[in-house]
Amino acid sequence: FTTLLAEFAQHRELDPYLDTLWPLCPADLTASDILMVVLQHLPCSQENPLPFSSERNQLTVGLLKPLLQRVVQRPCVQDEMYSDALQSPTFPPPTPPREHKIPSKAMADNAPQVPKARTSSPSALVQGDTA
Residue partners of 71: CB distance under 8 A and separation at least 6: 25, 29, 30, 31, 34
Q: How confident is the model at residue 107 (pLDDT cuts 50, 70, 90)?
A: low
* Mean pLDDT for the stretch of residues 32-36: 83
Q: Across the chain, what does the average pLDDT equal?
A: 68
* Mean pLDDT for the stretch of residues 91-105: 73
Q: Supply the Cα-derived Rg of the chain in whole angstroms.
A: 34
Q: What is the pTM of this model?
A: 0.43
